[in-house]
Structure 1
């Protein structure tokens, strides 16, 4: 095992995921990369035409400042996560797109030997309607996955 990719998001349990993934990497003498995925940032600053009688968005163009600010926040988040691990050798990768697909694609591109993720607690309705990122990855990835239980 040479490379471990650790997926983190804005949920506070990511601290535990990052720490346990890092510990695993150190035990295996592996390289570490923290990945954070933003959904399509265009959605963050999107302005929409009138719909269902609501015209609050009419006449407004896309707000590129909002999208750029979301990227800046994500970059700062990744740098703080890296600093928390106190290892200058840790790499970071900020990506954009569907979270599960993007993690799998980057894992393959980077040559990850293990993907580390948390098992966030979602409501039954959320799981039924959307599934979870971990479930989607487990269903399709060729890379072994190390799940960190984070439920209290």
Structure 2
């Protein structure tokens, strides 16, 4: 992992997430890109809203450029002289957050995007609002969502929640997760929530998980991978219990974007856990054939 992109609108929660991402970058010796997306006037849903005069708009953009530089200085000032000082680049663009981030990821080969759970602080009428859900759907690579007030600490255990509906795709995500875990020297815990109480069904699940570990040990040189069955009738409740009692530092989940009918009539475990868990949530996009 070479480049981490930190999205901020300079709100307190966004700055908390960026600080976490910056400390993470220092830990794994990655480059940092701090990015701010300012909504353009045509996107502001206010009847009769007049376009910004060119000079005022340019002045506003410059204000954000200055804000980015000040925040960059703030982040760097907290580093010890002998600590790793990551290269830091600042990007400020007008447009939708999802579009600006997608462009920056593609142009800079960013390996990870870090955002806060709430975006909407400074000059909030001109900034993108809370877009965590949209970014979860739109992301084409790993997305780390950090709750307000979260302070970085060494990540010793990452729980990857799986339902075994797409075993091959889950394996592909785990293979993507392993290099990240290696950089942090963290364990990977494969977690499956089940309401099955019958011994025969439990044995089947245990066998499935054991086969996973055999496959992983054969193809990946990383022995620190374990599994755990969590008995609960509700997936989210089981994962919340794991996050609170399983000595887990980060929760990883696979997510596939859904159409409008799925949004109305279904639900997303990933989005629900983003609301329920206090842990940093690492989201991997799951392509659907």
Q: Conserved in 2, the CA contact under 8 Å of 1:119 and 1:151?
A: no
Task: Name structure 2 gaps, 5 residues minimum.
Answer: 77-84, 121-127, 151-289
SS at match of 1:116: strand
> What value does the CA root-mean-square deviation take over the aligned residues?
3.0
Change (3 A) 1:75 1:131: closer
> Is 2:147 the partner of 1:149?
yes
Aligned to 1:105: 103
Question: In 2, are the aligned partners of 1:104 and 1:141 still within 8 Å (CA)?
Answer: yes
Decide which structure has the larger Cα Rg and report it.
2
- Note the C-alpha offset of 1:93: 0.7
8 Å contact kept, 2:4–2:30: yes
Q: State the TM-score, normalized to the length of structure 2.
A: 0.41
Partner SS for 1:13: helix
Would you say the 8 A contact 1:74–1:94 is kept in 2?
yes
Structure 1 stretches (4+) deviating beyond 3 angstroms? Answer: 41-44
What aligned pairs does 1:19-98 form with structure 2 within 5 A after superposition? Answer: 19-40=19-40, 63-86=53-76, 89-98=87-96
Q: Give structure 1 stretches of 5+ with no counterpart.
A: 52-56, 123-129
- Give the distance between the partners of 1:148 and 1:74, measured in 2 at CA: 22
Contact 1:120 1:151 in 2 (8 A): no
Aligned residue number for residue 125 of structure 1: none
Distance in 2 (alpha carbons) for counterparts of 1:144 and 1:16: 19
Q: TM-score, normalised by structure 1?
A: 0.75
Query: Larger relative contact order (C-alpha < 8 A, sep ≥ 6)?
Result: 1
Distance 1:43 1:32 in 2: 29
Report Cα offsets for 1:43-92 as digits up to 9, x if no partner.
Answer: 79xxx9xx6xxxxx7xxx85112101110111011001100111572111
User: CA 1:15–1:93 in structure 2 vs 1: closer, same or farther (change >3 Å)?
Assistant: same
Deviations 1:82-116 (A, max 9, x none): 00111572111111111112112211221000000
